[in-house]
A and B are shown apart, each in its own frame.
Chain A
Amino acid sequence: MYPLAPAAAVLLALMVGAFFLVVAGHDPITVYRVMMRSSFGSTPAVINTLVSATPLILTGLAALVCFRVRLWNIGAEGQLYVGAILASGVALWFGDRLGAPIAITVTIFAGALGGTLFVALPALARSWLGTNEIITTLLLNFVALLLMNWLIFGSRSYWRDPVGTFPQGKRIPSAAEFPRLGDTRLHLGLLVALVAVLLVWLMLTRTRFGFHMRVFGDSEKAARYVGISARRMILMAFLISGALAGVAGAIDVGGLSRRLDPNSLAIGLGYAGIIVAALSRLNPGGVVLVAILIGGVRNAGTALQALPERVPMEIAVMLEGAILIFALSSEVFIRYRIRWPWSAHRAITGSPFAAIPTGGDRA
């Protein structure tokens, strides 16, 4: 109903970014032009943006599935790590025993399984004990991060490359490596992500489960009335969400790093997924567009450092944050009318009547 709100949020974020750029002594127009060029200005730039967007589509979907039923899974980050750990572990364990298509499929499903298993703990705690999922999923992110770092940097684990002094993950067998487009870095993962978008969309619109999910997300009381089990719904939403985040981990292993690589994984993909879901207004199709936008912004960060005046790449991180803040606050502006205390006579109050989102305006 308000497709302009996310666009306005992006625009406002760019203005805030411009302010800080000016303060730091840079010309915002130049910086934004460089960013635009380095993320969307040429075929290689677009390809790199798509590569960055691929995991964001999956983590965005992961957040979306939970947000649709008003569960706040902040743990896609950790579920992604564990997905990557399991995916790389399984790929390494099978070695060359499997043919390429099967090895790739197994890797992807191992990632989904890893994410699912890791989210199961907070999911069960939430559905059976009512434990606040924001806290549990958030804290478990650090558990997963430390586990992954320990596997590669802190131990001589199965995942670590035994040769070489520099600690890094063992390379997965070539059968499990995702095919790439020509000699670019664009890999099969994008296709996997798009299929996931389609599946989530079909689930929400065409299945009984998705229908019940929408009812539950809309009103828990109505869901209880219908006979939908809240416990089952909460559990399922979490497990699907975790699986999607886990796949995001698996495609990094199979498509980009070809090993368990903390440096490639721990770049806040799970957290960025929250931004993607929020900006998409919980619309699976929107997730793709927003992921490409955010992927572009993130990509541009690196290019900025190459500028002669050395613009800090943190500007990209800041833009991402600003976009989220504006996107979330635009929801408030859509639902409520601001009442200024000094003009009490003209303004509408936050009354129950005024809060009804009619879309119509006061004459």
Chain B
Amino acid sequence: MTSLTDGGAVEPPALEVRGIVKRFPGTLANDDVALTVRSGQVCAILGENGAGKSTLASILSGLYQPDRGEIFRRGNPVTLRSPREALGLGIGMVHQHFRLVNRFTVAENVALGDPSQPFFMSTPKVHRSIAAIGDFYDLPIEPSAVVADLSVGEQQRVEIVKTLYRGADVLILDEPTSVLTPQETESLFATIRKMTAEGKAVIFISHKLREVREISDVVTVMRSARVVGTVPPITAVEELARLMVGRDVDMSVRRRRAPGGDRVLELSGIHVDRQSRRGGLTGVSLEVTAGEIVGVAGVAGNGQRQLAEVAAGLLLPSEGRVIVGGSDITGRGPRAARTAGLAYVPEDRRSTGLAPSLTIAENLQLTSPHRPILNRRHWHSHARSLMDEYDIRAPGPNSVTSDLSGGNIQKVLLARELSTNPLAIVSASPTQGLDVGAIASVRKLLFEHCARGSGVLLITEDLEEIMELSDRVVVLYEGRIVHEGPTSETDVTEVGLAMAGAMRVS
């Protein structure tokens, strides 16, 4: 199902695959996948988590070998046995999780693995190349900077420069915007447009409909390991969503705003000292009232994790107080926070919120107060009823938690945290990595508890989610609150600027 937007091209496509099949133990990740990528075009691959996008990208970049199928580079059949071979053929990938050596400089990272480098690296030459690439593609970067000191957006630039330096003219970008502010996304798009103007081909992998429509020339939609359609980017959002999910999707989850109630969570004047590599917090004060969702936006690493841990009693602030439902729990640990009525749904649900190799029943009892000798008699039935109530799909309460799907794992965690009817819920990236169905049910759960009078502190990098769910927005930048206001009076651009530190308050 290859459609051409420029009609009957004579030139063979920059990259083409046919009939790609890739199987992993227990899953079929790619099933008869075909894709055509032309020079000078942005080809978007759209699909949900687990649709097989990343597997396809890994095959195209030589990381995985397909079980079946053919790959053509400018019409010639090729085999890509390693990323190095793929790069040799001009195919480079920018991974979602960067592959940079943190202690090395930009130049060292760029030159790393370059087979043309002599034994003693020629630093000035690399510096000059980086500067030239940076100038041409609007990717300003200081070659002698150490990668660890760079922001996430800058690190991504290094990855792109690295790929261009190695001579790639097919670039695969795997979820490149997931770590960027709206402004950084804009400048990435400008770079992508420059690259295609130069005749390079870009494969843009994403699950974000709006971005895909904005940047791409042709959209290939994947669902459950298969390509379900190749459509022009002007296709309506609803139609793209339907292709991606396989059924009609109600894109508007809304709820009735509950009137303001008592304060359920109050942080005042929180200071956390900056530790090496981990950000601190400076004078953070915020409050959440019953029935309210307060969204905390910010680029990862600006103190969100510390904020969540302080509220949950896991991290002791050097100054400030934490009050849950009227009782001061500062410095009294996670158990006291829980007793006071706080639920914490951490971002890392697999191994922080849950003990992965324990059973569902055991994980549901993880935070309950126990007597020294356990009474396990009711664990099984308790787990059964929660599994029914929260629609956790698993063979049984004795199933090992790590065997479940991401959505079900999150439901186990939510079942445990929410079934205690907490006053305040601190939830970090609650829908990250979940499929559309699971996202909807997680949001519904949060809304339900809100309606029952819980207050929610929603901490996430997903700006769209914050704008859709929260009543008030707070933006964290370098450990400070730099913006605060009701969502209805807040503009996304404003939040984006604040996330990038442009609205710093002194």
Asked whether A345 lies within 8 Å of B65 as measured between CB atoms, the reply is yes
Q: Determine whether the beta carbon of A225 is less than 8 Å from that of B334.
A: yes
Residue among A214, A227, A354, A362 facing the most chain B CB atoms (10 A cut-off): A227
Encoded as 1 (CB less than 8 Å from any B CB) or 0, chain A from 217 to 229 comes to 0110111111100
Shortest B15–chain A CB gap in Å is: 19
When distances are taken between beta carbons in the complex, the residues of chain B under 8 Å from A218 are 355-358
In the complex, A43 has a CB within 8 A of chain B: no
Q: Assess whether A207 is interfacial by the CB under 8 Å rule.
A: yes
A184 beta carbon closer than 8 Å to chain B = no
Beta-carbon contact of A226 and B348 below 8 Å: no
Q: Is A30 positioned at the interface, with any CB of B under 8 Å from its CB? A: no
Interface presence of A93 (CB below 8 A):
no
Say if the beta carbon of B371 comes within 8 Å of chain A: yes
Shortest distance from the beta carbon of B110 to any chain A beta carbon, whole Å: 26
In the complex the two chains form, what is the Cα distance from A361 to B23 in whole Å? 11
- Cβ contact within 8 Å between B27 and A344: no
Interface of B is mostly: loop
Interface residue from B63, B344, B355 paired with A215 (Cβ < 8 Å): B355
**Contact residue among A209, A222, A360 (Cβ-Cβ distance under 8 Å from B25):** A360
Contact residue among B24, B63, B351, B370 (Cβ-Cβ distance under 8 Å from A219)? B351
**Which residues of chain B are within 8 angstroms of A362 by Cβ–Cβ distance?**
23-25
Beyond A214-B358, A225-B344, whether A206 also contacts B373 by CB under 8 A is yes
Q: Which of A349-363 contact B (CB under 8 A)?
A: 349, 351, 353-354, 356, 358, 360-363
Known: A206-B374, A222-B351. A353 touches B358 (CB 8 A): no
Do residues A358 and B373 form an inter-chain contact, with CB atoms below 8 A?
Answer: no
**Which residue from A222, A346, A360 sits with its C-beta under 8 Å from B366?**
A222
* Least CB separation from B365: chain A residue: A211
Does B354 count as interface, using CB distance less than 8 angstroms?
A: yes
Using a CB-CB cutoff of 8 Å, which residues 431-487 of chain B contact chain A? Answer: none
Contact (Cβ within 8 A) A348 B366: no
Q: Which residue of A lies closest to B68 (CB)?
A: A345
A344 — which chain B residues lie within 8 A by C-beta?
A: 65, 81
Check A225–B346 contact: CB distance below 8 A: yes
- Give the tally of cross-chain contacts (CB within 8 A): 92
- Chain A nearest CB from B314 CB (Å) reads 7
Q: Would you give the shortest CB distance from B502 to chain A, in whole angstroms?
A: 34
Report the count of interface residues on B (CB-CB < 8 A).
42
B369-409 Cβ-contact flags toward A at 8 Å (1 or 0)? 01111101000000000000000000000000011000000
Measured CA separation A59–B353 after assembly (Å): 34
Q: Does A33 contact B (CB under 8 A)?
A: no
- Chain A residues with Cβ below 8 Å from B353 are 222, 225
A310 at the interface (CB under 8 A from B): no
Cβ–Cβ contact B314 & A224, under 8 A: yes
> Which residues from chain B contact A215 at a C-beta distance below 8 Å?
355, 358, 366
Across-interface contacts of B346 in A (CB, < 8 A):
225
Complex alpha-carbon distance, A354 and B22, angstroms: 12
Q: Are A222 and B26 in contact (CB under 8 A)?
A: no
Number of residues from A at the complex interface, CB < 8 A: 30
A204 to chain B, nearest CB (A): 11
Cβ–Cβ contact A219 & B25, under 8 A: no
* Contact among A206, A221, A226 with B334 in the assembled complex (CB-CB below 8 Å): A226
- Closest residue of chain B to A337, judged by CB? B25
Q: Once the chains are docked, how many angstroms separate the CA of A211 from the CA of B358?
A: 10
Residues of chain A within 8 A (CB-CB) of B334 are 225-227
Q: Please, how many angstroms separate the alpha-carbon atoms of A22 and B347 in the complex?
A: 59
Other-chain residue from A207, A225, A351 in contact with B374 (beta carbon distance below 8 A) = A207
CB <8 Å contact, B362 and A358? no
Q: Assuming A211-B374, A348-B25, A360-B25, is B352 touching A221 (CB within 8 A)? A: yes
A208 and B25: CB pair below 8 A? Answer: no
In the bound assembly, the distance between CA atoms of A23 and B371 in angstroms comes to: 60
A-contacting residues, B51-70, CB 8 Å: 58, 63-65, 67
> What is the minimal beta-carbon distance from A225 to any residue of chain B, in angstroms?
5
Residues of chain A within 8 A of B312, CB atoms compared = 225
Q: What's the minimum C-beta distance from A229 to chain B, rounded to whole angstroms?
A: 9
Please report the C-alpha to C-alpha distance between residue A75 and residue B376 in the assembled complex, in whole angstroms. Answer: 35
* Known A215-B358, A227-B333, A348-B25: A221·B348 in contact at CB below 8 Å: yes
Structural contact, A227 and B348, CB atoms closer than 8 A = no
Residues in B with CB closer than 8 Å to A211 are 362, 365, 370, 374
Distance, CA A30 to CA B344, complexed state (A): 65
Given A214-B358, A218-B355, A222-B354: A208 and B372 within 8 A (CB)?
A: yes
Cβ of A219 and Cβ of B366 under 8 Å apart?
A: no
B428: min CB distance to chain A, Å:
12
Complex CA–CA separation, A292 to B67 (angstroms): 47
Q: Mark B213-244, 1 if CB is under 8 A from A, else 0.
A: 00000000000000000000000000000000
Closest Cβ–Cβ distance, residue B308 to chain A (whole Å): 11
Given contacts A226-B367, A344-B65, contact A208 B373 (CB under 8 A): yes
The residues in B between 31 and 50 inclusive whose CB is less than 8 angstroms from any CB of A are none
CB of B29 within 8 Å of the partner chain: yes
Q: Which A residues between 175 and 230 are near B, CB-CB below 8 angstroms?
A: 206-209, 211, 214-215, 218-219, 221-227
Please, how many angstroms separate the alpha-carbon atoms of A362 and B367 in the complex? 38
B276 to chain A minimum Cβ distance, whole angstroms, is 15
- Complex Cα distance, B402 from A218, in Å, reads 11
Distance to closest chain A CB from B72 (angstroms): 17
Determine the residue in chain B with the shortest Cβ distance to A202: B373
Chain A residues with Cβ below 8 Å from B67 are: 345-346
A199 to chain B, nearest CB (A): 13
Known contacts A206-B374, A225-B334: A363-B355 contact under CB 8 Å: no
Please judge, given known A-B contacts A206-B373, A344-B81, whether A353 and B355 are in contact too, CB under 8 Å. no
Query: CB < 8 Å: which of B24, B335, B356, B376 contacts A353?
Result: B24
Q: Which residues in A have some Cβ–Cβ distance to B below 8 Å?
A: 206-209, 211, 214-215, 218-219, 221-227, 344-346, 348-349, 351, 353-354, 356, 358, 360-363
A-B pairs, top 6 by smallest CB distance, nearest first, are A227-B334, A218-B355, A353-B24, A221-B352, A208-B370, A219-B351
13 contacts between A and B (CB under 8 A): A206-B376, A208-B374, A211-B365, A214-B355, A215-B355, A219-B352, A219-B356, A221-B351, A222-B351, A225-B314, A227-B313, A227-B334, A351-B24
A206-B376, A208-B374, A351-B63 known; 10 new pairs, CB 8 Å cut-off, are A211-B365, A221-B351, A222-B352, A224-B314, A225-B314, A225-B334, A227-B313, A227-B333, A346-B67, A354-B25
